[in-house]
Amino acid sequence: MTVEQTPTQRLYAVVEQGLCVGCGLCQSVAGEQHVSVMKTLNGYEQPVVVGELDHQTVDKILDVCPGTHVEGLPKDKVEENTKIDNVWGPWRRLVLSWASDPKVRFEGSTAGVLTALAGYLLKSRQVDFILHTRSSAVEPSFGEATLSFNHAQVLEAAGSRYGPSATLINISSVLDRNQPFAFIGKPCDIAALRNFSRHDSRVEKLVKYYLTPVCGGIMQPLSTIDFIKRNGMEPEKVTHFRYRGRGCPGPTRIESNEVVKEVHYLDFWGEDATQWALPFRCKICPDEIGEAADIAAADTWFGGSPTRQGSLADPGENAFIARTMAGQELLEAAAAAGVLSLGQDVTPDEMSGYQPHQMRKKYAAWSRFQGIGDEGRIVPHVERLRIQELAEDLPDSRNEYQRNGTRQRIIDGKVQEPTPEPWKL
């Protein structure tokens, strides 16, 4: 006899099975009187049920949740003459780029290109504001959703965020403003907002541009706390945490009222992708390259990681992926206006050289999902990302390795997360 889950159990299953990305959208869907996204016992920002919840609401949450539903670029956004690479997805132009303003280039992540584009959209009055993230005033290693209305506010929020960031926690109130805006978020945030457009027509009307960094994932929060402690600082006394920027990639900087500590970016992440302490959802992500965005911006370190030599002297450059006609026109208009500087065009194969970990993860995603399904767990629904086709290009032995490895992680309890409970000091 099968016992039907309650609405709360259905929502919590996403968290407990390691699929929640902490985007905050479930709070907007359910209403904060029913679901509150907050810091929980394992250090993440996750949904906590605080009121009555029904199955209809949970159905809607699961349809928009990027932990359970990931789609590539909508079909009607793939215009004629768009190229589609099985790994790198739809693209109209791949080109190296950097912010023309030296200050923006220095302050931003790698080359400041998304910061420069956001400032250009505001100055040219194509949008009224930018919805993106800045460093949290409450949890300095976290990001928090913010609206920027001018270039100075955009620049103040520059820099990557590798901690929990509930970017869509207040999206309903943002849409209530009835003003055109651009959205900058992680690829999973982009997917979530595209999903939400099926339920709220204002998204299609008001979101003029979707911009994203090609994402390496976020650091597990407890690992970040350990990193702070290893550097001789007390996590509860940290007032500011900057992951990168002010160089290429620039230092990781931890501040308290008494101490400022700067270390190399590689001291935070590790020397290569095998050392990254990622959540499970990031490890199985089928789209860290932002296929649902108009523009994605990628790091261009050959081999996927910077070196310890010359990062402060290197002003940095990004690889821009213009996926839609709107994205291509924005890129070229910003270059014509002198906001962006463009270098040479690149190929998908060169992108895989810059980001080999993204290529490997894309090839592995289908088999990893099979392993999840083998253990009777929630398998994310994926469309227009070609992960099955990529898996078919691999030897059976490689697919079995990924499938069985995922199964074993689940069996060993490495994927299971606790039922969400509010963080307690």
Residue where the block lists tokens 């929980």:
40
Q: Is the pLDDT of residue 146 over 60?
A: yes
Where does the pLDDT of residue 273 fall: very low under 50, low under 70, confident under 90, or very high at 90 and above?
Answer: low
Q: Is the pLDDT of residue 319 over 50?
A: yes
When pLDDT is averaged across residues 218-232 and rounded to a whole number, the result is 94
Omega before 249 within 30 of 0, i.e. cis: yes
pLDDT of residue 314: 78
> CA 374 to CA 384: how far, in whole Å?
23
Listed range (18-22, 258-262, 305-309, 368-372) with the worst mean pLDDT: 305-309
Q: Is the pLDDT of residue 310 over 80?
A: no
- DSSP lists the bridge partners of residue 143 as 135, 165
Q: Is the pLDDT of residue 209 over 50?
A: yes
CB 342 within 8 A of CB 96: yes
Q: Is the pLDDT of residue 129 over 80?
A: yes
pLDDT of residue 109: 83
Where does the pLDDT of residue 274 fall: very low under 50, low under 70, confident under 90, or very high at 90 and above?
Answer: low
> CA 256 to CA 239: how far, in whole Å?
5
What is the three-class DSSP state of 16?
helix
What is the three-class DSSP state of 109?
coil
When pLDDT is averaged across residues 154-166 and rounded to a whole number, the result is 94
Q: pLDDT per residue over 5-15, tens digit each?
A: 999 999 999 99
Q: Residues 155, 161, 166, 167: what is their CA dihedral angle, to the nearest 10 degrees?
A: 40
> CA 163 to CA 75: how far, in whole Å?
32
Q: Is the pLDDT of residue 1 over 50?
A: no
Where does the pLDDT of residue 311 fall: very low under 50, low under 70, confident under 90, or very high at 90 and above?
Answer: low
Average pLDDT, the chain: 95
What percent of the chain shows pLDDT beyond 70? 97
Q: Residue 143: name the closest of 248, 215, 202 by CA.
A: 215
CB 218 within 8 A of CB 162: yes
The 8-class DSSP code of residue 181 comes to E
When pLDDT is averaged across residues 331-337 and rounded to a whole number, the result is 98
CB 135 within 8 A of CB 165: no
> CA 319 to CA 336: how far, in whole Å?
18
pLDDT of residue 425: 60
Sheet holding 260-263, edge to edge: 238-242, 252-256, 260-263
CB 148 within 8 A of CB 184: no
Q: Is the pLDDT of residue 3 over 90?
A: no
E strand residue ranges, 43-161: 45-49, 69-71, 83-85, 89-91, 93-99, 129-135, 143-148
> CA 324 to CA 290: how far, in whole Å?
12
When pLDDT is averaged across residues 141-146 and rounded to a whole number, the result is 97
CB 404 within 8 A of CB 371: yes
When pLDDT is averaged across residues 216-242 and rounded to a whole number, the result is 94
pLDDT of residue 247: 85
What percent of the chain shows pLDDT beyond 90? 90
The pTM for the full model equals 0.96
> CA 246 to CA 92: how far, in whole Å?
30
β 207-213/181-184 pair status: parallel
Q: pLDDT per residue over 83-96, tens digit each?
A: 999 999 999 999 99
When pLDDT is averaged across residues 101-120 and rounded to a whole number, the result is 94
CB 10 within 8 A of CB 58: yes
